[in-house]
């Protein structure tokens, strides 16, 4: 994401957390940045960082709203060169306590929100045979934990979607990147802690072991520079290997935090 001078970028979740940090970095490097969020106060704070950051209220769970917002960005700033999709929800509940309505809402935002955003920019990129899409999945989509079954399922869907998309676009000049971060110390983690959080995340928060968002974004930028299709920043690569090679040990350890 270094060479973005005069490029048009959309960053979802731009009102807080890693979306906010990425929007500021892109603006500092000369991009024209549109931020999407429902957090209008947070977006206003982000926009004060630079005159080249413009805020658009957008509920990514609604396809018509997404299409309208992207069309407005194109009218205001020009064709979209870069999409960074970071918006998501992350409440925690045991699967036996999940309501159908809650799980549907989570899929509508985390999975379908990803699909709506990607499709809203992809046609234009394909017409120009140029563009870059960076979408946040999660290591939770590959390495599940108790109390987060619904969230893990939504991110597994995102991870699969982006892996297939990468390979379907392999012979084009449209680059896609799936980011699978570990638990990061952002407002998103507070949604988990405010609900029925896994004990492992509570312990990580109390011990100060949650990942630093600035360092995670540094790692993402390095992965993008190397054109990696899937990026495992921080400890995510280790967690993925652990669960893949020793799944019984993984569950034995994480379940100990629930005792």
Q: For residue range 126-135, what is the model confidence (pLDDT) as tens digits?
A: 999 999 999 9
Domain 8-256 listed as CATH 3.40.50.720? yes
φ, ψ for residue 246, nearest 5 deg: -135, 65
- Confidence at residue 111, expressed as pLDDT on a 0 to 100 scale: 98
- Confidence at residue 22, expressed as pLDDT on a 0 to 100 scale: 98
**Where would I find the beta strands (DSSP E) of 23-142?**
32-37, 53-57, 82-85, 131-136
Across the range 204-227, mean pLDDT stands at 95
- Confidence at residue 3, expressed as pLDDT on a 0 to 100 scale: 87
CA distance 252 to 259: 11
CA distance 201 to 57: 31
Asked if residue 1 has pLDDT above 90, the reply is: no
Across the range 18-45, mean pLDDT stands at 98
Asked if residue 24 has pLDDT above 80, the reply is: yes
Structural domain spans, the chain = 8-256
CA distance 118 to 134: 9
Asked if residue 137 has pLDDT above 80, the reply is: yes
Average pLDDT for the chain: 96
Asked if residue 169 has pLDDT above 90, the reply is: yes
- Confidence at residue 109, expressed as pLDDT on a 0 to 100 scale: 98
Q: Which among 51, 52, 23 has a CA at the least distance from the CA of 35?
A: 23
Across the range 160-165, mean pLDDT stands at 98
Helix (H) or strand (E) segment spanning residue 231? strand 230-231
> What pTM did the predictor assign?
0.96
3-state secondary structure of 84: strand
Asked if residue 2 has pLDDT above 90, the reply is: no
- Confidence at residue 256, expressed as pLDDT on a 0 to 100 scale: 94
Asked if residue 67 has pLDDT above 80, the reply is: yes
């Amino acid at each position: 994401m270094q060479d973005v001078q005069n490029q048009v970028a959309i960053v979802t979740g731009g009102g807080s957390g890693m979306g906010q940090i990425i929007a500021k970095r892109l603006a500092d490097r000369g991009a024209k940045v549109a931020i999407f969020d429902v957090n209008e106060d947070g977006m206003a704070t982000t926009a004060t960082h630079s005159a080249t950051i413009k805020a658009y209220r957008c509920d990514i769970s609604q396809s018509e709203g997404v299409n309208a917002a992207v069309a407005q960005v194109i009218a205001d700033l020009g064709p979209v060169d870069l999409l960074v999709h970071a918006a998501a929800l992350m409440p925690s509940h045991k699967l036996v306590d999940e309501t159908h309505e809650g799980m549907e809402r989570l899929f509508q935002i985390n999975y379908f929100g990803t699909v709506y955003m990607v499709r809203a920019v992809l046609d234009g990129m394909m017409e120009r045979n140029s563009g870059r899409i960076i979408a946040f999945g999660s290591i939770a989509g590959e390495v599940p934990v108790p109390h987060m079954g619904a969230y893990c399922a939504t991110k597994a869907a995102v991870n699969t979607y982006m892996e297939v998309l990468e390979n379907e676009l392999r012979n084009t000049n449209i680059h896609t990147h799936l980011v699978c971060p570990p638990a990061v110390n952002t407002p998103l983690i507070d949604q988990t802690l405010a609900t029925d959080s896994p004990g492992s995340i509570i312990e990580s928060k109390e011990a100060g072991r949650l990942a630093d968002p600035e360092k995670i974004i540094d790692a993402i930028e390095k992965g993008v520079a190397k054109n990696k299709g899937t990026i495992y920043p921080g400890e995510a690569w280790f967690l993925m290997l652990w669960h893949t090679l020793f799944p019984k040990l993984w569950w034995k350890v994480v379940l100990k935090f629930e005792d």
